[in-house]
Structure 1
């Protein structure tokens, strides 16, 4: 009888978001650095900005800054205000709540916030 050695299964944790009715794998969790954003292109051509906060919680919002039209929110500065995580646009500095997409500096403006999970 010959012993068979099996390599341990290696499964990488993926960041998934739900842009519609189904979950979509976007990138490996290992590609995210706490406090920094990463842009990803969805199959329908939209761009999302992915973030991982310092506690390891993932977030995803539209990457398009509604004030300028530029796809730059993934490059913004991550912080928190009143315990709420936000990203500040690198262009005009408006802050967007990472959980809701609402602009903290102009309540009439928001970006789409996506449901996100690491699986």
Structure 2
């Protein structure tokens, strides 16, 4: 079994902000979001003190250890989350982790360097 991408925001988000973010995503997400139950962005089932909004998807992870995901699509979803929730920290990593690393410019540069370099693999290979 493979590792899936886990993308979420941590911080205070009102119900109105969450609804607005879901509307924002509908017209902009092209291939990352996937939730048969409805909205892409949902409050986490973790205890409320986490203030976690998850971006539901069915994408494989792309990072330094696992390169099966479609990095350009994942990166686009990260940027959408940063724009939709400017007051939050955005986290990205494997769905096998309870707490993923915070998205930083350094982390994004590292993954882009891998993807564009000789060891980066095309999605699905």
Q: TM-score range by the shorter chain?
A: under 0.3
Higher strand share: 1
Greater RCO, 1 or 2 (C-alpha within 8 Å, sep 6+):
2
Higher gyration radius (CA): 1
Higher helix share: 2
Name the TM-score, length of structure 2 as normaliser.
0.24
